Structure 1
Amino acid sequence: MTEAARGHFAMLLFSGLVAGSFSLGGLVANEIAPAAITAVRFALAALVMGAVVWLGGRAERRALAAPWRYLVLGALFATYFVLMFEGLKTAPPVSAAAVFTLTPLMAAGLGWVILRQVTTPRMALALAIGAAGALWVIFRADWQTFLGFDVGRGEIIYFWGCFAHAAYTPMLRRLNRGESPTVFTLGVLVAGTVVLGLWGWPEIRATGWAALPAIVWVTILYLAIFASAATFVLLQYATLRLPSAKVMAYTYLTPSWVLVWELALGNGAPRPLVLAGLGLTVAALLLLLKDEEAPRRVAGQS
């Protein structure tokens, strides 16, 4: 299997794991403050990743150089997760996942600004198709809502979180200096925990942790292990092997994965017209996967 193929497989797994955070997050968004649940998931994920690094004997001295890099990346991802949970207070999981599919379009633009990565015509077409499918789902297949640009408050809040996520991808590539995915991910998680601990301390202190429903703790564990530690590693692994726009293209699968999660949790499926938008996002992914890789920098170059 080629390096690029491994990167694609990593992002396929990434999209499935991320989708679970939308459905589970939607169940608990109104049970706990966004900063509090994000801080705990980062802290737990850092412990898990720290154990992986320690057991694997992968500590790298060079990873300690320029620690400000981790603060930048940790702040970006912390912003994404906090705004995600804030948005899920009112946005349906499938709709929020559709907003997430706008990330590749933003990542392509930021990839050019930060890394001068070129978006080919076919890639641009795929991004446009995916964005159209995402908008169709966001506006719930309602032309009147679309023409009136009636976007829910939750979707707007989450959009800015997705912008932070889109910036994270090229910034990770820009700031990585050859550290292994696990070691670099640990640095980002620790930095994110520090940022959230300082910024969200009032919410963390005010949370009645002992009184939280069991589903909140199940969600926290899932987010920490699968949707944080695992996806951080998968995202970095793929980012160092694929252009930013292609990495984020796998977010187009997220609404479809969320639909599977929603059905599994007994929450039902959206109406058929909305499913057409999901079909467009899948078509965009397939078109992107056929595209030739755009010129990109060597991994670790800054």
Structure 2
Amino acid sequence: MNPLFPAHLAMLLWAVLIAVSFPAAAQVDRSLDAVVLTALRLLLSALLFLPFLLRRGLPSPRAAGAHLLLGSLLAIYFACLFEALKYTSATDTALLYALVPLFTLGAERLLLPAPSSLLRFIAMLPAAFGAMLIISQGGTAGAALFDYPHGVFLLGCVAMALYSPLSKRLAEGALQGRQPAEVAAWNMLAGAALLFLFCFSKGRAGDLLRLRLLDWCWILYLALFATLVTFALLHFAIGTIPPATVLSYSYLSTLLVAMAHWTLQSPSTLELLGGLLIVAGMVGLVGLSTRTPRCKPYSIQAQAKGLGQPVTVRK
């Protein structure tokens, strides 16, 4: 069996869970503050994994710093997303999010020594364009990219683009030897703490008192399957395949959501074209990730003080 097969299979499951999370999240009372709900989801996800975390022991100061850094990227992304949604549509933010895998490819070049990523960039473009075609059919995405809401969400997209490459870099340094689910849980705990601080500073935490029993049930489901499991799968996959390829599976989630919608309403020609472009791009990316690289093993030298010892990694 190809050693990359489990990672791609994990991301297929990730794409399905992300697609299913949208109708599940819609069941929660929409009048509640979204930042509070996100902080609660992250916190519950980490707490569900708490027995295992305590058995493994507390992270070292270096590891705790790495978790805080990664958690802050999650907090920045979610805070920017919900701030942007006050002023613009979900369609606009979804269109901008289609840029995240491309941004991640650039972050890889900065954070991870790697062979040329030009072929992956070429393979990713059809998938990104296909996702934009599908999303754009859900509404009119209008405003300029550099007005306030779009600029804020672009900042969030950059934070999310840095998350996976930086996770891989730190996994070979301060977080070396940690299990993927363990890393994900500590990151989410740090992100939840920062988001709750943000909510308390804005006086929004009172929404927690308005949660109904049914809301708690749906949030627990989202915390376990749409948050903890998906983050664990993400961290498992980025240990094997390039982070930008991992995040490109978000295009597949877009296609799965669209296909569910197509069972109720026939797709337009542009939507079908978008679906074909996503499939073509993903096939190209998976194919590139399974090619045997011709480069020699390289050593990652810690450029930041305390990041970790040199580690030989075979690409």
What secondary structure is seen at the aligned counterpart in 2 of 1:3? coil
Is residue 132 of structure 2 the alignment partner of residue 135 of structure 1? Answer: yes
Cα shift readout 1:209-265 (whole Å, capped 9, x = no counterpart): 34345664344223311121111111110011111222122122011122255578x
In structure 2, the CA distance between the partners of 1:230 and 1:37, relative to structure 1 (3 Å rule), is same
Q: Structure 2 CA distance, aligned partners of 1:43 and 1:242?
A: 28
Output the TM-score relative to the length of structure 2: 0.77
Aligned counterpart in structure 1 of residue 89 of structure 2, from 88, 91, 96:
91
Where does residue 179 of structure 2 map in the other structure? 180
Is residue 65 of structure 2 the alignment partner of residue 104 of structure 1? Answer: no
Where does residue 163 of structure 1 map in the other structure? 158
Aligned counterpart in structure 2 of residue 287 of structure 1, from 274, 279, 284:
284
Alignment of 1:196-275 (within 5 A): 196-202=195-201, 205-212=204-211, 216-260=215-259, 262=261, 271-275=268-272
CA RMSD for the aligned pairs?
3.5
Q: Structure 1 CA distance, aligned partners of 2:282 and 2:45?
A: 29
Cα shift readout 1:268-290 (whole Å, capped 9, x = no counterpart): 57644234223312221111111
Output the TM-score relative to the length of structure 1: 0.80
Code of the aligned partner of 2:43: A
In structure 2, the CA distance between the partners of 1:222 and 1:91, relative to structure 1 (3 Å rule), is farther
In structure 2, the CA distance between the partners of 1:77 and 1:178, relative to structure 1 (3 Å rule), is same
In structure 2, the CA distance between the partners of 1:250 and 1:183, relative to structure 1 (3 Å rule), is same
In structure 2, the CA distance between the partners of 1:6 and 1:88, relative to structure 1 (3 Å rule), is farther
Cα shift readout 1:29-78 (whole Å, capped 9, x = no counterpart): 84222321111111100111213445xx5x15665544110111001112
> Between Structure 1 and Structure 2, how many residues are aligned?
293
Cα shift readout 1:2-45 (whole Å, capped 9, x = no counterpart): 43111111111111112233444456584222321111111100
- Give the percent of matched residue pairs that are identical in Structure 1 and Structure 2: 30
Task: Identify the structure with the greater helix proportion.
Answer: 1
Q: Which has the larger radius of gyration?
A: 2
In structure 2, the CA distance between the partners of 1:117 and 1:215, relative to structure 1 (3 Å rule), is farther
Gaps of 5+ in 2: 301-307
